[in-house]
Structure 1
Amino acid sequence: MKIIKSDLHAIAVGPKQYPQDELPEIAFAGRSNVGKSSFINSMLNRVNLARTSGKPGKTRTINFYIINDEFRFVDLPGYGYAQVSKTEKEKWGHIIEEYLKNRKNLKEIALIVDIRHEPTSQDVMMYNWIKSFGYSGIVIATKADKISKGQWQKNIKQIRNKLGVESSNLILPYSSEKKINVEKTWEIFEEILDLNKDQQSL
């Protein structure tokens, strides 16, 4: 994928603020401190497009990033931050649920986890939620540069068992810092977006 341009397109807390067009979207869910913003920046070869925060739980909106005027990445609010009130957590849950249930543009949701750690119960809940909507169950296991390559398979197996992932092929070791598996991830996303096919049918 050649990234010609990428920009923040919209910030939303509800459907009225979603972009009103038919561009396909891939969304990303994950814990507050798992590195979703860093993942998006590394995929788009940008430094600060998706803003990373030293304060977990800061992303309380759905952020839409438009790429090449052809499709969007969608950063969903992070979950699992302990110091957030129950009311706030319920509010974020509603924001995410509303998007997942009603967004026709949505082609796929990937769950982002930290390859070094066993997924949490909230990760399991989110993964089951994603699967319940009929999506593939792709898992991006970030921070792969923080452990040796020899440990990857062991940790992937742990993630697969905890989440109940159908195949290890759906779990992709990834590093935002070292750009590990950027191209492989794009190959998967391009197939999901199927942009060339859409253009041929016009």
Structure 2
Amino acid sequence: VVQAVSRNPLAEPGVLGVVSGAGVGAVAVLTVVPLASFWLIGGSALAGAAAAAALVFGLAARRGLEQNRLVLIGIGVQAGGGAFVSLLIVLTDPYNATKALAWLGGSTYGRTFPELIPVLVALAAALPVLAVMRRDLDLIGLDGDTPRLLGVRLGTTRLGLLSIAVVLTAGAVAAVGVIGFVGLVAPHAAR
């Protein structure tokens, strides 16, 4: 979805700042609440991802969510979030820092079914909407003029599609942590 909307085959959800936003939310809880439950960590990751997405979309909305502006702002938010995560880890005690670093490493090892519920909810919410919007998604991936000529409202459609990408990314990060380059490899593997 992110690759089609940004018309960049190397784009991944990290360029929207969502992954670092989820990381900030989860690491903030891990460093402040030592015995945080999975649900608290996952919920804070979802909240952090939503806050980062709102910041990126809010800053990029001035010109109709142009893909270059969106990606540049997203990369800036991603870098800022990464810096804030590093600051949180440095300022906390070593025990909490180790837990935060383990979560940031991301892993599917030892996950149970209840921990996969965020992913299942995100998929259940996003897949029907993506199925309905598949024509618009294909058209937006072409160029800027063709969708407009065929009646696609670019700003609204981009915002909707990117919101779906945020929901999917936030659910995945909440369930398994930050796993690098999965968002980059998955679309190419699916093709």
Q: Which has the higher contact order (CA 8 A, sep 6+)?
A: 2
Coarse TM-score class (shorter-chain normalised) = under 0.3
More helix by share: 2
Structure index of larger Rg: 2
Give the TM-score of the pair, scaled to structure 1.
Answer: 0.24
